[in-house]
Amino acid sequence: MKSPLVLVTAGPTREKIDPIRFISNYSTGMFGYKIAEEARDRGCRVVLVTGPVSIEPPSGVKTIQVESAIEMQKAVKTWSNKADYIFMAAAVSDWRAADPARAKIKKIGRKMSLELKENPDILKTLGKRKTYRLVGFALETENLIGNAAKKLKNKGLDIIVANRLTKNANLFGDNKIDVLIMDRYGGRDIYKGLSKGRLSKIILDKAFSFNIK
C-alpha cells in the first residue's frame, strides 16, 4: 500500500505591483516547513508548495516554489486531487494589485493610491469537495475563539490551528507560541509556549487520528 500523500503550503505570497515591487507579509514559512518535515519523518510522501522564504527546502520532500496566490492556487489544485491530508499553513495574501504595471511606477509628487483585488480563498475552495483531511491555520489580532470557529465552519475544515498576534509576540519565526486547536466536532485544546516543531507533532497526531463521524 502507498504511504499517505501530505500536501503542505507554507510561507507568504508575493503580489506584484510593478516589475520591482510587491505586496507581501512577514511569514517565514517555518510552521509549514516543520509540518512537512514531520510528515516526511513519519514515512509520508510530502509535497510542499511554498512562497518565497529564506529557509532551505527540506530533503526528501517534493518542494514546489511559487510566488503569487494565483500560482499557489494552481499548484495546490494539481496536488489536492491526490492528497490524503492537506495542511494550509501559507500566509496567502488576501489581495493583489488590480492592474500590476508593466514598467516601474514613477513617483508623481502627490498622494498615490493602489487599487487592490481580492485573491481567491484557496482553503475555502479546498473545503468544498473533500477527499482528504483538511487543516487550516488562522492568525488573529482579536476574538480568537470566535474567528477560528467561524473559519472552521465557513471554510469546511476538519481542524483549525489558530494563534493570536499579541503586542510582544513575534508569531512568524521559530519562537514558542500559544495556539488554539479546534475541530469540526467541537474538540478544543489550548497549547501554551510550544515550539513549531513540537506543535507540528501534535497537529499531525490530531489530523492522522481524525475520523469523520
Query: Taking CB under 6 A as the criterion, which residues in 157-196 touch ligand CTP?
Result: none
- Residue 12 contacts ligand CTP per CB under 6 A: no
Minimum distance, C-beta of residue 88 to ligand CTP, in the bound complex (Å): 4
Report the C-alpha gap between 85 and 208 in whole angstroms. Answer: 8
- Residue 69 contacts ligand CTP per CB under 6 A: yes
Q: By rule CB under 6 A, what string of x and - marks binding of each residue 138-157 to ligand CTP?
A: xx-----------x------
Helix axes 196-208, 30-41, angle to 10 degrees: 60
Grid cell digits, residue 119: 485573491
Whole-number Cα distances in Å, 75 to 35, 64, 71, 143: 18, 8, 6, 32
Give the DSSP letter string of 81-130: TT-SEEEE--B--SEEESS--SSPPPP-SS-----EEEPP-HHHHHTTS-
Residue of 41, 121, 178, 183 that binds ligand CTP (CB under 6 A): 121
Letter for the amino acid at 38? E
- Where is 177: in which H helix or E strand? strand 177-183
Catalytic residues: 25
- Residue 204 contacts ligand CTP per CB under 6 A: no
Minimum distance, C-beta of residue 208 to ligand CTP, in the bound complex (Å): 18
Q: By rule CB under 6 A, what string of x and - marks binding of each residue 74-113 to ligand CTP?
A: --------------x-x-x-x-------------------
List residues near ligand CTP by CB under 6 A. 69, 88, 90, 92, 94, 119, 121-123, 136-139, 151
